[in-house]
């Protein structure tokens, strides 16, 4: 998707539609929506990317979210900012850490960009 703020709601919409197809419960959808929003927004705001990728897969009892950027000069790996819990900005990665079983980064396949991933527990909706 284009690396623009207007792409963030579109990424959320697509992910929620997929999770509904998979039968994920409401809490899972809400948590995944928030994590996708935070990670996608970070890729748009903090990299020189023209495009940002968003992939969601079901791996056993977890949902794996992967946001891929194209990198940029001087862009460091994302990390939670000390003291950012009380600030207006910078809380996103604390939320990602709180909602995820685990999360991290790795270089993308091309070596220039980065993949930020998060694993969230998956629960199917009760029927």
Per-residue pLDDT of the chain (127 residues; tens, 9 = 90+): 999 999 999 999 999 999 999 999 999 999 999 999 999 999 999 999 999 999 999 999 999 999 999 986 555 555 555 444 444 455 788 899 999 999 999 998 888 899 999 999 999 887 6
Burial (Cβ within 10 Å: 0-12, 13-18, ≥19) of residue 60 = exposed
Report the C-alpha gap between 46 and 52 in whole angstroms.
12
The per-residue pLDDT for 89 is 52
Q: With beta carbons less than 8 A apart as the criterion, state whether 56 and 63 touch.
A: yes
Report the C-alpha gap between 77 and 55 in whole angstroms.
19
Q: What is the pTM of this model?
A: 0.85
What are the CA-CA distances from residue 11 to residues 7, 70, 76, 123 (Å)?
A: 6, 17, 23, 21
């Amino acid at each position: 998707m284009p690396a623009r703020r207007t792409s963030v709601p579109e990424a959320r919409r697509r992910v929620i539609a997929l999770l509904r197809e998979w039968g994920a419960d409401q809490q899972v959808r809400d948590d995944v929506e928030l994590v996708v929003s935070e990670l996608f927004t970070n890729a748009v705001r903090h990299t020189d990317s023209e495009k940002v990728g968003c992939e969601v897969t079901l791996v056993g009892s977890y949902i794996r979210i992967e946001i891929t950027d194209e990198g940029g000069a001087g862009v460091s790996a994302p990390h939670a900012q000390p003291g950012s819990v009380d600030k207006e900005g910078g809380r996103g990665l604390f939320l990602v850490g709180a909602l995820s079983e685990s999360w991290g980064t790795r270089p993308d396949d091309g070596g220039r960009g980065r993949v930020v991933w998060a694993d969230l527990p998956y629960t199917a909706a009760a029927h």
